[in-house]
Amino acid sequence: MESPLSKDDDFKEKLSPEAYRVLRQNGTERPFSSGLNQETRSGTYHCAACDTALFAHTAKFDAGCGWPSFDQEIDSDNIQRITDTSHGMIRVEIRCTECDSHLGHVFPDGPTETGTRHCVNGVSLSFKPD
């Protein structure tokens, strides 16, 4: 059985230091720093750590918050929701179910019929155009 340490070492080798800090250490990238904010092509957004498909381009919208935002996930089984009480707030953290990487948070203030806004660190995602 593979130890968690060796898996963590694999992530350190695969990810940039910033991606590792966000995905594996629950960090947050600076707002408006991701090129994915402006991405408008058709395609799919995947977990940058393990390549699990997370969001379709049709779910993306501009929330003006500085991070890529989506109103729904491709498959709810691919994203785990966890209560996050850090920083004196109560929020819902979203993590990749496959590799347990931190993606961002989900809020109940989305503008579409889902009413949700998945606020995702761009460095947590890879984009695959159709």
pLDDT tens column, 35-87: 999 999 999 999 999 999 999 999 999 999 999 999 999 999 999 999 999 88
Q: What CATH number is attached to the domain comprising 21?
A: 2.170.150.20
Q: Which has the closest alpha carbon to 59: 49, 69, 46? A: 69
Looking at the structure of the chain, the number of domains it has is: 1
pLDDT of residue 2: 47
Structural domain for 44, as ranges: 4-129
Collapsing DSSP states into helix, strand and coil, what is residue 54?
A: strand
What is the Cα–Cα distance from 72 to 118, expressed in whole angstroms? 7
Of 47, 50, 96, 119, which residue is the catalytic one? 119
Q: Judge whether 99 counts as a catalytic residue.
A: no
Residue 121 pLDDT > 70: yes
